[in-house]
A and B are shown apart, each in its own frame.
Chain A
Amino acid sequence: MRKTEVPQDSCLLDGQQEICYALDENGHYVLAPTAGWEPKNIVNLQAWGLIREQVERAFAEVRAGRRSPLAYHMARHQMDVGMLAAYTGLSRWRVRRHLRPAIFARLKPALLERYASLLKMSVAELGALPDRPQLTTPHLGEQKL
């Protein structure tokens, strides 16, 4: 890749620049800043699209009363049962049980607090569902995919 061909397709980096390696006019390698590259933006947006789908699916299930709000917050943090279990130090089957609404509703405050502090929220927020699914990257909402 030549330095003059280094792509500057800004999209996901919030104006930040990465470094890539390119050849200058004398054929020497130099560090060249890049704002992004279209093919890479496409696949990154694809990955975010998948995460968003998962969050929306979890949200719908919680709203329908099939799963507890924990399922939604788990998806929002791109976690699965195994990862949530590792973070909280609980066994997988307990975490899986806590995804059931009836069992979640009866959880002791200490356990709720454990989940809430891990997910950086209050216990009240943990037990509630917002009006619509929220993802930590809201500005991707306007992106084309």
Chain B
Amino acid sequence: MKIDFPHNQSAHCESGVTANLLTHAGVGMSEAMAFGIGSGLFFGYVPFIKMNYLPLITYRGAPGCIFRKATKRLGIDIEQSKFRRPAAARQALDRLLAAGTPVGAQTGAYWLPYFPPALRFHFNGHNLVICGREGDDYLISDPVFPGLVRCPAEDLERARFSKGALAPKGRLYHIRRAPQQVDLPGAISKAIADVCRVMLKTPVPYAGIRGMHLLARHLEKWPAKLGEEKAAVHLGHMIRMQEEIGTGGGGFRFIYAAFLQEATEVLGRPSLQPLSERMTGAGDAWREFAVIGARICKTRGLPSDTYGALANRLRDIAARERRIYLDLAAAIP
């Protein structure tokens, strides 16, 4: 049994899943738009939360929030569930599939057999859509892959019950009903205001622009505090979080710029277009940061490539993004 599902390859798993599920439910949507109205853009640096002995650095919101926020802002009725027992999780999935409903699932990346070996890390924030079953195989629309993939039931179950940080616990989600008409402009305005708020007005020093400045302060001390080798590992980790599969490049800044470009037309506000261009500029600045950082990691940095110089670049990016969010907040209705 196979549900006819609009599989579109995407940069990022959760926004891709959200866009494809919405499109299937009759609310046609690009990935960038789903990312935008789910206010996926973020920055967070939490030095005391460690993953594999490395600090938490993220360029996007918590897993699950894009789907939740995007559907909520569009007034779409959804259902989510988590499971304690794998058998119950499998039954719930099969029931939904039998009813012709494509089902979103949070999984770990490590046990998915169709992943290239080089990307198999214990990362539990992956998202995909299960859209059919043939014998012991599930048909999966994994948005970061070009076409549908197959996954044996046993492997999918492992992936759904992977352990470690952010364990998915078999989490499933689907759209119950979508209204005929959705208020896209309203959702866009709310979502942009949300991003500006968390980036500019966070009460904690770990998020948004403040988080970037905190990271800059810590980053320039890494070599003295951790030694050259560990400092390079920290820096490499930061760049991986920024560029690793699913960011669309530049720590999600390009995908957000694409969203702003679309929003310009939907809202009929030409004043947003320059902001999209400036967001592209911020993405380019993050990419330059990654080039220099990777050069340091490979210990063949130019004499000018120092952690201090990198920290200053990061401060420049923070200042630049701060102005973007200020102007963005003023530009939306």
The residues of A with any CB-CB pair to B shorter than 8 Å are 1, 12-14, 16-23, 27-29, 31, 34, 37-40, 42-44, 46-48, 50, 77-79, 82-83, 86-87, 136-137, 139-140
Task: Kindly list chain A residues whose C-beta atoms are within 8 Å of the C-beta of B276.
Answer: 29
What separation, in Å, do the CA atoms of A136 and B120 have in the docked complex? 9
Q: How many residues of B contact A (CB 8 A)?
A: 50
Q: CB-nearest residue of chain B relative to A16?
A: B116
Task: Kindly list chain B residues whose C-beta atoms are within 8 Å of the C-beta of A136.
Answer: 117, 120
What separation, in Å, do the CA atoms of A83 and B144 have in the docked complex? 26
The 8 closest A-B pairs by CB, nearest first: A39-B294, A29-B258, A86-B163, A21-B254, A12-B118, A43-B236, A20-B249, A42-B294
Are A43 and B297 closer than 8 Å at their CB atoms?
yes
What separation, in Å, do the CA atoms of A87 and B284 have in the docked complex? 41
Q: A40-B243, A40-B244 are in contact. Are A13 and B120 (CB under 8 A)?
A: no
**Interface 1/0 per residue, B263-280 and A, CB below 8 Å:** 000000000000011001
**What is the distance, in angstroms, from B55's C-beta to the closest C-beta of chain A?**
15
Partner of B121, one of A18, A28, A78: A78
What separation, in Å, do the CA atoms of A145 and B217 have in the docked complex? 29
What separation, in Å, do the CA atoms of A17 and B10 have in the docked complex? 11
**What is the distance, in angstroms, from B205's C-beta to the closest C-beta of chain A?**
26
Task: Kindly list chain A residues whose C-beta atoms are within 8 Å of the C-beta of B132.
Answer: none
Are B122 and A48 closer than 8 Å at their CB atoms?
no
The residues of B with any CB-CB pair to A shorter than 8 Å are 9-11, 31-32, 110, 116-122, 144-146, 163-164, 167, 232-233, 236-237, 239-240, 243-245, 248-250, 254-255, 257-258, 261-262, 276-277, 280, 283-284, 287, 290-291, 293-295, 297-298
**What is the distance, in angstroms, from A53's C-beta to the closest C-beta of chain B?**
11
Task: Kindly list chain B residues whose C-beta atoms are within 8 Å of the C-beta of A21.
Answer: 11, 32, 248-249, 254-255, 257-258
Task: Kindly list chain A residues whose C-beta atoms are within 8 Å of the C-beta of B290.
Answer: 39-40
Listed A/B pairs (6) with beta-carbon separation below 8 Å: A13-B119, A18-B144, A20-B249, A21-B255, A83-B122, A137-B120
What separation, in Å, do the CA atoms of A47 and B245 have in the docked complex? 14
Q: CB-nearest residue of chain B relative to A140?
A: B118
Task: Kindly list chain B residues whose C-beta atoms are within 8 Å of the C-beta of A79.
Answer: 122
Are B294 and A38 closer than 8 Å at their CB atoms?
yes
Are A19 and B10 closer than 8 Å at their CB atoms?
yes
Q: A39-B293, A83-B163, A83-B164 are in contact. Are A18 and B11 (CB under 8 A)?
A: yes
Task: Kindly list chain B residues whose C-beta atoms are within 8 Å of the C-beta of A27.
Answer: 277
What separation, in Å, do the CA atoms of A77 and B110 have in the docked complex? 9
**What is the distance, in angstroms, from B258's C-beta to the closest C-beta of chain A?**
4
What separation, in Å, do the CA atoms of A46 and B233 have in the docked complex? 7
Are B233 and A1 closer than 8 Å at their CB atoms?
no
- The winner among A19, A34, A136 for most chain B CB atoms within 10 A is A19
**What is the distance, in angstroms, from B10's C-beta to the closest C-beta of chain A?**
6
**What is the distance, in angstroms, from A20's C-beta to the closest C-beta of chain B?**
4
Are B243 and A19 closer than 8 Å at their CB atoms?
no
Q: CB-nearest residue of chain B relative to A21?
A: B254
Partner of A42, one of B249, B254, B297: B297
- The winner among A14, A22, A31, A86 for most chain B CB atoms within 10 A is A31
Partner of B298, one of A37, A42, A47, A50: A42
Partner of A137, one of B117, B232, B294: B117
What separation, in Å, do the CA atoms of A29 and B36 have in the docked complex? 14
Task: Kindly list chain B residues whose C-beta atoms are within 8 Å of the C-beta of A22.
Answer: 249, 254
Are A13 and B116 closer than 8 Å at their CB atoms?
yes
What separation, in Å, do the CA atoms of A48 and B233 have in the docked complex? 11
